[in-house]
Amino acid sequence: MSDRWLDIDQYADLLGVPRTWVRDKVTSREIQHRRVGRHVRFAPEDITANNEKFFEPAITATPSRAAGRVRSAARTAAKPAA
């Protein structure tokens, strides 16, 4: 990661979330940030801390019930008509 500090727009682009989401989290102090005068900036350390706080691995040990329904529907659709 670079040593550049990001503004709200750049940080929102990095996360793939709306700018308003980032602004709301800053206002409620849910994410780490720095104030430079009136401007909000995110240092590399802030980004790392926020990633550890908000992001979890997407892999689960058991498949979801929705996945089972999709597989079941696919098997039903693949059966030839009698």
DSSP string, 4-25: PPB-HHHHHHHHTS-HHHHHHH
Residue 3: predicted pLDDT: 82
Cβ 44 vs Cβ 32: under 8 Å: no
pLDDT class for 10, splitting at 50, 70, 90?
Answer: very high
pLDDT tens, position by position, 23-70: 999 999 999 999 999 999 999 999 999 988 877 777 766 666 666 565
Residue 35: predicted pLDDT: 95
Residue 55: predicted pLDDT: 76
pLDDT class for 14, splitting at 50, 70, 90?
Answer: very high
Count of beta carbons in the 10 Å neighbourhood of residue 76: 8
Q: How buried is 33 (Cβ within 10 angstroms: 0-12 exposed, 13-18 middle, 19+ buried)?
A: buried
